[in-house]
Structure 1
Amino acid sequence: MRLIAFLCLIGLAGCVSTVPPQSPTRPKPQPTASASATTARAKVDQFVSVVQSVEPVAEAVCRQRTKPGTNCDFRIVVDDRPGQPVNAYQTLDRAGRPILAFTLPMIVEVRNRDELAFVMGHEAAHHIAGHIPRQQQNAMAGAVLLGGLATLSGANADAVRSAADLGASVGARSYSKEFELEADALGTIITRSAGYNPVRGAAFFTRIPDPGDRFLGTHPPNAQRIETVRRVDAQLR
């Protein structure tokens, strides 16, 4: 687990004062360096606590729901690259080990352990449901289809490559909304099983831009995602 960036953040917060000089208008005092350091430490403690609770549950659910031989040894890391947005994502390392990555802005943005646990459960669910290989298969099918059609039409090599690229992009997006809802549903189960409130966790969706229901959009409307969480959680009680 990479917490170096957090430790650096704590160190910097303890050295820099953010209290502005007083003026006749008596502006609202800003948090002091000590308060910023305390907040940073609280975020570190929150992240570590949720990882310790969610990771074993996610691995157990993975073993229960996937075929033998599936790598369920999750590695949860902090993406501390500068300039990263509020984001969490699931990927695989070269050996096929599932990686759940959280950017620093994401860890700072979540308001409570329930939100962090839900996001963690959601990303773990992507791996358990096999969304990366399924997306790759969809992209391959789209590339073959449009590339083949372009070839049959007599297009030149550049046009065929462009058609294949377009087909891969369309194919990869074809079921992305369904994948997100699947991950929301299974993430709800993981979150609840780890001892957190997934409905409270899904409140995170109320603070991010709503993607609506755009054609070939990658994410479903936020309201639909929250409803999915509520429905699945009600079934668990």
Structure 2
Amino acid sequence: MRFLPIVLIAALAACEPVDVTAPTAETPVLQQAPAGPRLSQRAALRNFSSVVATVEPVAERYCRQRSPNLNCDFRIVVDDRPGQPANAYQTLDRNGRPIIAFTVPLIAEARNRDELAFVMAHEAAHHIRGHIARQQQNATVGALVFGQLAGALGASNSVDTAQQLGATVGARTYSKNFELEADALGTEITAAAGYDPLKGAQFFFRIPDPGNRFLGTHPANADRLRTVQEVAARL
């Protein structure tokens, strides 16, 4: 399989709303299942090709139904730059076409097609929910508020610094909610494509848990697992 180049202009730190039920303490967290052995390179690439062919048209259909004003022609690529961690992300090219990129280590780390399908559906959901644009809006508002506050306090020489800080705070304020929204809609897309989102969410057990850090960009893995479990139960 030939690795494809990518054009990155607006990546996530990584629409019509879906019904997202906030995770509750009463909801039992999905239990970890045996991960199974790592796949061979050939098997991993075969799984990736199959998932791309299956999930992309479903994600495109969801996109056209829920966000008809967006470009829904997803392009799935492999980020083969050396030294990349196991990661996937959604971005846009210069023409606004949505790109979903997988690094080579992530493809190798996924133990089955369900995990790859869930990751792909999650990234597609970021685009469908308009998270890049919403994050940019939050950053703009944060920069404006912090800049005005610095000006009101007479710290004119610190306005630029305050605006930079405000943009950072604004961009991250809702990023955890964005991840949970993408998990919820991604669960729907995964199931609609014929994969098991609960089995796919097992991937969370093998990535670092960000916990609930101040201004962290991702919610705790337990919250994400509960979200997947609750949405899957309603399907």
What range is the shorter-chain TM-score in?
0.7 to 0.9
- Identify the structure with the greater helix proportion: 1
8 Å contact kept, 2:115–2:200: yes
Deviation at residue 154 of structure 1 after TM alignment: 1.9
Regions of 4+ moved over 2 Å: 1-5
**C-alpha distance in 1 between matches for 2:69 and 2:189:** 21
Instruction: Give the structure, 1 or 2, with the largest relative contact order (CA under 8 Å, sep 6 or more).
Output: 2
Amino acid corresponding to residue 172 of structure 1 in structure 2: A
How large is the RMSD of aligned CA atoms in angstroms? 1.6
**C-alpha distance in 1 between matches for 2:40 and 2:3:** 15
> What do residues 74-131 of structure 1 show as CA deviations (whole Å, max 9, x unaligned)?
0000000010011000001110000000000011011100000000000000000000
Q: Partner of 1:127 in structure 2?
A: 127
1:142-181 residue pairs with structure 2 within 5 A? 142-157=142-157, 159-181=158-180
> What do residues 134-165 of structure 1 show as CA deviations (whole Å, max 9, x unaligned)?
000000000000011112222234x1111000
8 Å contact kept, 1:177–1:220: yes
Amino acid corresponding to residue 199 of structure 1 in structure 2: L
Amino acid corresponding to residue 121 of structure 2 in structure 1: G
1:222-233 residue pairs with structure 2 within 5 A? 222-233=221-232
Q: Partner of 2:40 in structure 1?
A: 39
Deviation at residue 43 of structure 1 after TM alignment: 1.3
**C-alpha distance in 2 between matches for 1:4 and 1:174:** 33
8 Å contact kept, 1:54–1:121: yes
SS at match of 1:99: strand
Q: Partner of 1:93 in structure 2?
A: 93
8 Å contact kept, 1:2–1:77: no
Task: State the percentage of identical aligned residues.
Answer: 68
Q: Partner of 1:140 in structure 2?
A: 140
- Give unmatched runs, 5+ long, in structure 1: 6-35
**C-alpha distance in 2 between matches for 1:111 and 1:39:** 10
Q: Partner of 1:193 in structure 2?
A: 192
Q: Partner of 1:50 in structure 2?
A: 51
8 Å contact kept, 2:3–2:79: no
Amino acid corresponding to residue 159 of structure 2 in structure 1: V
**C-alpha distance in 2 between matches for 1:140 and 1:4:** 33
**C-alpha distance in 1 between matches for 2:58 and 2:4:** 26
- Give unmatched runs, 5+ long, in structure 2: 6-37
SS at match of 1:78: strand
CA change 1:4–1:179 in 2 (3 A) is closer
8 Å contact kept, 2:4–2:77: no
Deviation at residue 220 of structure 1 after TM alignment: 0.7
Q: Partner of 1:106 in structure 2?
A: 106
Amino acid corresponding to residue 41 of structure 2 in structure 1: A
Amino acid corresponding to residue 53 of structure 1 in structure 2: T
CA change 1:2–1:181 in 2 (3 A) is farther
**C-alpha distance in 1 between matches for 2:3 and 2:214:** 39
Deviation at residue 42 of structure 1 after TM alignment: 1.1
